Amino acid sequence: MEGDTLRLGNGGGQIDGKVVQTFQKSFVQVQNILDQNRLLINEINQNHESKIPDNLGRNVGLIKELNNNIRRVVDLYADLSTSFTKSTDIASSEGGDSSGGGGAMKYSDGSKGGHKRNRP
């Protein structure tokens, strides 16, 4: 996606590649934390099933680590949200979009970014 730009609104402003790279970096950080959480949860489950007192005691620390990781993910998403809002405001004002930045996102390849998430 390097070199891509993200178009906002109806031909409004653009978000440059540097901003996109920042988003990608943050998403990689989030994914790494989520991968680590999966491992933590597996270990917590194994310790719980073993019912060995030392393993159950270890779970206290693992659960604290899991909670801290979840806080980090929340913070990263909050930072992403703030960054995205700022970049769309800048892009809208630079692009002369009089609609106030509304409308669907469009990538430089013409595809639209949707707001709907697919759930399994």
Give the separation between CA 114 and CA 97, rounded to whole angstroms. Answer: 19
Quote the CA–CA distance of 110 and 96 in Å, as a whole number: 19
DSSP 108: T
Domain assignment of residue 36, yes or no? yes
Whether 111 is covered by a domain: the verdict is no
Total structural domains in the chain?
1
Give percent of the chain with pLDDT exceeding 70. Answer: 64
Q: Is residue 113 part of a domain?
A: no
Task: Decide if 5 is inside a domain.
Answer: no
Query: Does 9 reside within a domain?
Result: no
pTM for the predicted model, two decimal places: 0.64
Q: pLDDT tens digit string along 80-116?
A: 998 888 887 776 776 654 444 444 444 444 545 444 4
- Residue range of the domain that includes 64: 17-91
Q: Please list, in sequence order, all residues whose beta carbon lies within 8 angstroms of the beta carbon of residue 89, skipping any fewer than 6 positions away.
A: 101
Asked whether residue 112 is domain-assigned, the answer is: no
